[in-house]
Structure 1
Amino acid sequence: MARSLDGLVLAPVADQAPGQVGTRTRFTYHEKDGEIWADYAGGDVVRGRLVGTRAGDRLDFRYVQLKTDGTTASGHCVSLVVELPDGRVRLEETWEWESRPGSGTSVVEQVDETADRAR
């Protein structure tokens, strides 16, 4: 099993469609005893939360978010935890909205917080 996600900050490697998470969105993950949760914000997302479970390298969670235009959205995501050659963590995600039509895939990777703050 890959290392714990607890305390890690991850960001999308590419922007999704407008109004969704993008490269300016930051996810701060927490993990304990098979439970995972995260807070996220940035870009078009004012505030988001996710909560779910981890079994081995598989995450299964629901998410909900408030966007800058005042709308909310929610969905379901299954992610595979991958450790990159440089030791950082990548999540390969398959998601679907539950509050509206749409689904897709995305990738988020652990960010270097020192370099990220310098931006």
Structure 2
Amino acid sequence: MALTLDGRRFTAVAEAVAGEVGTETVFTYHERDGEVWAEYAGGSIRRGRLVGTRDGDRLDFRYVQLNVDGRTSAGHCVSRVSVLPDGRLRLHETWEWESRPGSGTSVIEELPAG
């Protein structure tokens, strides 16, 4: 059985090129019955939400966010879940803006417990 994302907190391992998620952005994920959603904020993002589905190690979701400069943005992301040697989760993301030009990849990792 796949490890649940529910209640896990993640942050980027590096700044996303062409993106806005950075090492100061923190995501709190929720999961139930194949549905995933999260809240995120930090760095240049005042508030963000994502909602989608999980099928095994694959997430497919849409995201929308409000930046600290007052701009809103939206996009689509497909992520692959993997497990780090210490048991934390890592998400390998392929994303694209839908509200403006741009796309890329990024990696976020679960924050250590504590």
- Aligned equivalent of 1:88: 88
2 CA distance for matches of 1:13 and 1:26?
11
CA contact (8 A) 1:2 1:82 kept: no
Q: Structure 1 runs of 4+ off > 3 angstroms?
A: none
Q: What is the aligned length? A: 114
When you count helix as a share of all residues, which structure comes out higher?
1
1 CA distance for matches of 2:46 and 2:18?
14
How big is the alpha-carbon RMSD for the aligned residues of Structure 1 and Structure 2? 1.3
2 CA distance for matches of 1:113 and 1:50?
23
Q: Percent identity?
A: 68
Q: CA deviation at 1:70?
A: 0.2
Report the secondary structure of 2:3's partner residue. Answer: coil
Cα distance per residue 1:50-100 (max 9 Å; x no partner)? 000000100000000000000000000000000111100000000000000
Equivalent runs, 1:8-47 vs 2, <5 Å: 8-17=8-17, 20-47=20-47
Q: Normalising by structure 2, report the TM-score.
A: 0.96
1 CA distance for matches of 2:18 and 2:67?
11
Q: Normalising by structure 1, report the TM-score.
A: 0.92
